[in-house]
Chain A
Amino acid sequence: MTGKPRPDLNDTATTPYWEAAARHELALPCCDGCGLVFFPPRERCPGCWSAELSWQPMSGGGTVWTFTEVHVAFYDDTWADDVPYVVAVIELDEGPRMLAGIVEPDMASLAIGDRVEVTFEDRPEGVTLPVFRVVE
């Protein structure tokens, strides 16, 4: 086991995102210039190139835009204890799309368009990941 991939927690563009996640909050940058909320976080708005940004809490609600159930531990045994697991693209209610896991998925019913809400997974490798749970 080589350990799961871990984001760079020292990248100044993204540290507020990971600090919020550690507090079990989902926050994204919002452009002060054009109002765009975007993902992934970066130091400049991809819409208008303004560097004036404010971090905003997200509602945590979204819909499943697409998903896949991964059945194979690719490359090595890093994910061997996790397969099968679900990776999804979630469209947040605020607009941006992000990739994340879906926890405790019911594969018999999981579908594109399902409503989800954010929850948080404190990983042993020292990072908290926003993940999503299907809501009725």
Chain B
Amino acid sequence: MSVLDGIAIVGVAETAIGKLPGRSAISLQAEAGVAAVAAAGLAKGDIDGVFSFSGYSQAMMLHAVRVAEHLGLRPELAVVTDVGGPGTHHAALLNVAAAIDAGMCTAALCTYGENGISIRRSGRGRAPGTLTGGEDFEAPYGQIAMISGYALFAQRHMHMYGTTSEQLGAVAVASRYHASLNDNAHKREPITLDDHQASPMISSPLRRLDCSLISDAGGAFVVTSIERARSLGVPYARVLGYGAAATHHIPSQAPDLHELGGPVAAARAFERAGLTVADADAVYIHDACTFSVVAGVEALGLCVEGEGGPYAESGALALGSKCPVNLHGGMLSHGHAGGVFHLLDAVRQLQGTAGRRQVEGAEIVVAHGNGGVFSTFSTMVLGRGP
């Protein structure tokens, strides 16, 4: 038994996504938070725990208590987790589960999001505005953007396995197709492989359409005990297995591709769930770039190591396949404000509320991916409740 067995994700919500001038990050998180509490069938007075992260465009001290103050809450616990990528939200679930088990919390509000576009105009931050770890030995060479860190790994994957730019393009096209089915996505206009190939090089081998968006947006979810979820009478998601791995911080200190933490995190999560990837009805992979999805399908075991490119090219990512990937459109097309939206959409699939992108009867959905530049990995296997 694990403390994670006792929790249910009962409400999820997201704000509008895109360019939202004048909106502070905290107001976006609060808006999503209020909506998530309502979606859970709860009220302000029910929330006695706040878990959050500020995001990297404007990293803040004591962010969770800032959210609590903003919403007029005085919880026992106001906790920030910062694991990078999906790990931040997954680690929050672990914290909430422990808090509920310890009797310190009965219903937790978890809020994320940032205003990565509009923050630049405020002069208070940039994306990312935090110290990335390479201040002394990488930034002086112009290694200042996350995307060029990812490019280093995409290049090596191409060298080792023959992965092509067109295969990366297949990821971009599939993501945009899914976003076209999602009325709240930042970019919904369908794209073709030709559009991908014609988009300008950003950091070789990654083109503009290989890069995730930067968005102003907030997302939130509410967690309570399974017992409470049942009494609320709302559909919910349960945690079936959680696994993680942390190997390095800056790109130059990464192990080689086959030793990155992705397969390890996934194997740990599936083992704890007593399941395999063949049981998954859909997966959500944190897609800072198209290559992240190629690495992700390999790590999850949807294909063997090195075959992520051909797998993407085969059409296996799209709705209608056995295990579609990033049905909300991913950070490549739906929006990027810290990466919480993968988890939110995984929950929606299990609640049966994903609209035109719903996988009929979804029972098992997996959220997976990395933070930093393949620095930390986290895999969360979720199941439909009750």
Chain A residues at the B interface, C-beta cutoff of 8 Å: 4-8, 11, 14, 39-40, 65-72, 74-75, 79, 82, 85, 87, 89, 97-101, 111-113, 123, 127, 129, 131
Contact = CB atoms under 8 A, between A and B. Distances in A.
A5 B133 CA distance: 13
Nearest to B120: A75
Contacts, number: 97
A99 B135 contact: no
Interface string B135-147: 1111111111100
Please provide the 8 A-B residue pairs with the shortest distance between their CB atoms, ordered closest to farther.
Answer: A68-B151, A5-B139, A7-B136, A99-B252, A66-B156, A74-B145, A69-B204, A112-B159
Interface stretch (B195-203, B238-246, B276-284): B195-203
Given A5-B140, A85-B142, A72 B202 contact: yes
Interface string B153-177: 1011001000000000000000000
B141 A129 contact: yes
A71 B205 CA distance: 10
Interface of B: 126, 134-145, 148, 151-153, 155-156, 159, 200-206, 250-253
* Residue among A5, A66, A72, A100 facing the most chain B CB atoms (10 A cut-off): A66
A51 to B, nearest CB: 20
A29 to B, nearest CB: 13
B155 A99 contact: no
For the complex, would chain B's binding face be called helix, strand, loop or mixed by DSSP majority? mixed
Contact of A40 (B136, B143, B200): B136
Contact of B140 (A69, A70, A113, A129): A129
Contacts of B153: 66
B114 to A, nearest CB: 15
A101 B142 contact: yes
A70 B151 CA distance: 9
A75 B155 contact: no
Given A6-B140, A101-B142, A68 B135 contact: no
A7 B201 contact: no
Contacts of A65: 156
Contact of B201 (A69, A82, A87, A98): A69
